Structure 1
Amino acid sequence: MAQGRGSAMAVTVTILLCMIQLHFEIASAAIYTVGGRGGWIFNVAGWPKGKSFKAGDVLVFNYNPAAHNVVGVSKAGYNSCTAPRGAKFFTSGKDRIKLKRGQNFFICTFAGHCQSGMKIAVTAA
């Protein structure tokens, strides 16, 4: 019987340690406001330069939803300023997007906006 209680204790401790680890991973994620105080605007493509991003960091896109949007795209979509069929469109004006490991590409699909520099490429370690 004592052996059963020990097993339960070990499981409880393991679960507790996993929860603590998850808490620290979430707490360590950085939050970046794209474009700084100016927000998600034209000519923001250079904004990521000099910043170190990690997977799990959050990008906040602030903009006027009547004038802009945010769409996550592939590298090809970024280069051609086109969103593929089925792409996720963000339209709240206060979008929060978690970065995945590797390259992350975002554009505005309003006519001419991406071509005018309303796009960013972010690499997360």
Structure 2
Amino acid sequence: MGRGSASQAMVLAFILGCILLLHCQVAESAVYTVGGNNGWSFNTANWPKGKTFKAGDVLVFKYNPSVHNVVAVSAAGYKGCNSPRGAKVYKSGNDRVTLARGRNFFICGLAGHCQSGMKIAVTAA
């Protein structure tokens, strides 16, 4: 084998290692349906209690899109139940959101829904 072949083998081994590492990280992610069997609805603010979340875990928000949505907000948006301009709004009724490390906040952006408990705060390690 010439020098080029050894270099190609090292590059191939590196790429395969990266693929394996990526696969292991994806396999470790958990998927949670927000609100359990009731889905994303009123009084879900306590749903995260007792659960351990990691960065990369996926939250699935299931709801009727004609009456609800999901808005990713900051801590202030969560506390004040308001959606800042430019906030990411999900409205499919079957939204999948990957958690970032740290605090993640979500509310229903329709009038009065957040105030009625349609919001969650999730901390991902």
Q: Normalized against structure 2, the TM-score is what?
A: 0.97
Distance 1:44 1:86 in 2: 24
Aligned ranges for residues 85-96 of structure 1 at < 5 Å? 85-96=85-96
Residue identity opposite 1:45 in structure 2? A
Q: For residue 9 of structure 1, what is the amino acid of its counterpart?
A: A
Partner of 2:19: 19
Q: Distance in 1 between matches of 2:3 and 2:49?
A: 57
Q: CA deviation at 1:36?
A: 0.2
Q: Deviation of residue 29 (structure 1)?
A: 0.7
Unaligned runs of 5+ in 2: none
Q: Report the secondary structure of 2:47's partner residue.
A: coil
Q: Give the aligned residue type for 2:110.
A: F
Structure 1 residue ranges without an equivalent (≥5):
none
Structure 1 length normalisation: TM-score? 0.97
Provide the residue aligned with 1:113 in structure 2.
113
Question: Which amino acid is 1:43 matched to?
Answer: N
User: Cα deviations across residues 4-39 of structure 1 (Å, max 9, x unaligned)?
Assistant: 211110111011010111011111110000000000
| Distance (Å, rounded) in 2 between the aligned partners of 1:7 and 1:52 | 43
- Superposition CA RMSD, Å: 0.8
Q: Does the residue aligned with 2:18 lie in a helix, a strand or coil?
A: helix
Q: Write the mapping of 1:37-52 to structure 2, written as runs, cut at 5 A.
A: 37-52=37-52
> How big is the shift at 1:3?
2.2
Structure 1 moving runs of 4+ over 6 Å: none
Q: Deviations over 1:56-101 (max 9, x none)?
A: 1000000001110000000000000000001111000000000000
Spell out the pairing of 1:1-80 with structure 2 (5 A cutoff). Answer: 2-80=2-80
Corresponding letter in the other structure for 1:57: D
SS for the counterpart of 1:41 is: coil
Percent of aligned positions that are identical: 64
